[in-house]
């Protein structure tokens, strides 16, 4: 089975000119945690996830490693945290999104076994699907599981 046979065709996405505020509004509105970022030709130029947002607002000044554990030492207060969150809302999405070169994506004719391997090995929740360089769909772990096991249960 190929990606185009079971991908979600109506993809929630953001434009490369959007702000992080618009990203978070879509996250909340649709109950999602990641979005492809596209240009005016619907080409994938990035990917923004809740992890990118956490890395920005969870900024820390120092990290210590002791006995294999990471300890984050936070220097600041609630006011500084809120200021970072407010600043983040105004940023262009491409300031914190994964750039095109790092975006994991699959082609529209990729087979399901390879997609499952990509999602598992890369530890990602979903992957954009493209055809001729243009975003045409998205596939999540849930899509792969449903497609694989629906006739077995």
| pLDDT, tens only, 62-104 | 444 445 554 455 555 678 888 888 999 999 999 999 999 999 9
Residues paired with residue 37 on neighbouring β-strands, in sequence order: 14, 46
For residue 61, what pLDDT is reported? Answer: 54
How far apart are the C-alpha atoms of 148 and 113, rounded to whole Å? 9
| pLDDT, tens only, 133-148 | 999 999 999 999 999 9
Q: What phi-psi label fits residue 76: left (phi over 0), alpha (psi between -120 and 50 degrees) or beta? A: left
Question: Cα–Cα–Cα angle for 143, 149, 151, nearest 5°?
Answer: 115
Binning pLDDT at 50, 70 and 90, where does residue 4 land?
very high
Q: What are phi and psi of 110, to 5 degrees?
A: -65, 145
Domains of the chain, first to last: 3-149 (3.10.580.10)
Q: Strand 126-131 vs strand 106-107: parallel, antiparallel, or unpaired?
A: parallel
Global pTM?
0.84
How far apart are the C-alpha atoms of 51 and 78, rounded to whole Å? 20
SS3 65: strand
């Amino acid at each position: 089975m190929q990606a185009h046979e079971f991908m979600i065709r109506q993809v929630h996405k953001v434009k490369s000119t959007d702000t992080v505020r618009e990203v978070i509004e879509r996250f909340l509105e649709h109950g999602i945690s990641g979005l492809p970022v596209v240009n005016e030709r619907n080409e994938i130029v990035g990917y923004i996830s809740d992890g990118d947002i956490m890395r920005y607002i969870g900024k820390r000044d120092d990290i210590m490693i002791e006995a294999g554990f990471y300890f984050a030492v936070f220097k600041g207060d609630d006011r500084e945290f809120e200021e970072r969150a407010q600043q983040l809302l105004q940023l262009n999405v491409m300031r914190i999104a994964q750039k095109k070169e790092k975006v994991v994506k699959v082609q529209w004719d990729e087979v399901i076994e390879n997609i499952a391997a990509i999602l598992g090995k890369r530890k990602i929740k979903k992957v954009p699907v493209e055809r001729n360089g243009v975003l045409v769909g998205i596939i999540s772990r849930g899509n792969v599981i449903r497609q694989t096991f629906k006739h077995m249960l």
